[in-house]
Each structure stands twice: as structure tokens, then as C-alpha cells.
Amino acid sequence: MAIQKVYPSAPAALDGLLKEGMSIAVGGFGLCGIPEQLIIALRDSGVTGLTCVSNNAGVDGWGLGLLLQTKQIRRMVSSYVGENAEFERQFMSGELELEFTPQGTLAERMRAGGAGIPAFYTRTGVGTVVAEGKPHEIFDGETYVMERAIRTDLSLVKAWKADRSGNLVYRKTARNFNPMVATCGAVCVAEVEQIVDTGALEPDQIHTPGIFVDRIVQTVSEKRIEQRTVRG
């Protein structure tokens, strides 16, 4: 019998997956491609002590900013945190732990985790605080720092389209981090705008194979703009 991956709501899609102190990788780039309804369901669950791995921490009042407001996040692993005043306040007051990671390194750490690669070497961060306490190695006369892969208890992603087997297609900027996030979690839940029958997607169009995706929920996206710029 085929596995039923489609769930009727975001809370239902998270049911039985959440626990105190768990680690969660969250897709998105700025406010583009964030699993917004799953984040709201995560907030409403009341689970606390979370370690969240995400390129950024949302903004005040949206995205992961919702979980910062309720102080459900204990630790962030991020590359960009400049749009969230509450994040700044909690970090400066010592309420929030931060592992600051270069953007490309963060993407590769999650990709490596999904590929079963425990660690890799990169030149990014050598000679900075990012490399402090980490193993170094010389390759072809250049110094590299070792970075550990990231594996999380749960991955939350946002896709444009899915089929009922969990194959995912992303659109444009939403493809930046979501594919890596989808593979690095022990369980992956995908929030999508459209669900089609299995076989309806062109195989060459699929960005995340369904083998990585455990649950799917169809939602209506708000698609807020992080920084609105208009002509005078």
C-alpha cells in the first residue's frame, strides 16, 4: 500500500513530530520560500528550547520572528540576522545563542548532512572568529578550515508544487536553501501551494525527490515582502 503523505492542515502535518529541545532546519531566503504556515503551527504547539538552522531569522512578527517573540528558540544557526530587532535584543542580552555561519558554508553543511558526508574543508572563514577552535589543513599550499555537516531532527520546507509521492518543485529564489534543508532532517515536512497526482510532474523538473519528503500540506501563501522599494 502506498504511504499517505498528504495532510489536511499544518498542525496535522506536525502532529507527533515535535519535542522539547529538538533541532529544526527551516527553508527560505529572507521571507521568500519560508514555510510560513508550518512556522505558525510550530509556534502554536508551544514547543520550546528549539535549535533552528536557517539562513535568516525572519523579521519582527513574521517567519521565525514569530518563534522569537514567544521565546521558543534557544539557539540559532544562521548566516544573516540583520532584519530582526527582537533577535538582536535577545542575543545582546544573552537570552539567545547564535552560531554565526557564512552563507555558502551553511548551505554546504546542510547539503553534506543530507548526502551523508560528516565534514568538509573550506577556505571561507580562515583567519576569522568563524574558524576558531576548528581543525585546519593545508591543501595545495592553501589553508582550509574543517566544517561539520548539519543533521536535524526535523526539516520544514516550502515548495511551489508537489505530487502525492512528495516530489517537490521550487520557484526561483525559494530554491536557494529549501533543497538542502529538505535533505538534512531526519523527517521532512513540505508546505506547498499545489498538489498534483503522482506522475503529473516532468521528472526533469523535480528539485527534491520524494524519498526525502515524509509529509505534505497544501496552504495559501501570504508572500510578504521583506523590504518594499517603490519609485518616487
Residue among 102, 78, 75 at smallest CA distance from 90: 75
The H or E element spanning position 106 is: helix 103-115
How many domains is the chain built from? 1
Is pLDDT above 90 for 223? Answer: no
Is pLDDT above 80 for 90? Answer: yes
Which cell numbers in the block locate residue 119?
A: 565534514
In the β-sheet with 136-139, what is the strand arrangement from edge to edge? 119-122, 142-148, 136-139
How far apart, in whole angstroms, are the C-alpha atoms of residue 95 and residue 114?
30
Q: Is residue 213 part of a domain?
A: yes
Range of the domain at 172: 21-117+151-200+209-218
Residue among 59, 91, 66, 89 at smallest CA distance from 77: 91
Q: Is residue 95 part of a domain?
A: yes
Which pLDDT score, from 0 to 100, does residue 2 have? 67
| Residue 231, Cβ density class (10 Å: 0-12 exposed, 13-18 middle, ≥19 buried) | exposed
Give the pLDDT confidence of 12-27 residue by residue, as tens digits.
999 999 999 999 999 9
How far apart, in whole angstroms, are the C-alpha atoms of residue 216 and residue 213?
8
CATH code for the domain of 93: 3.40.1080.10
Q: Is residue 79 part of a domain?
A: yes
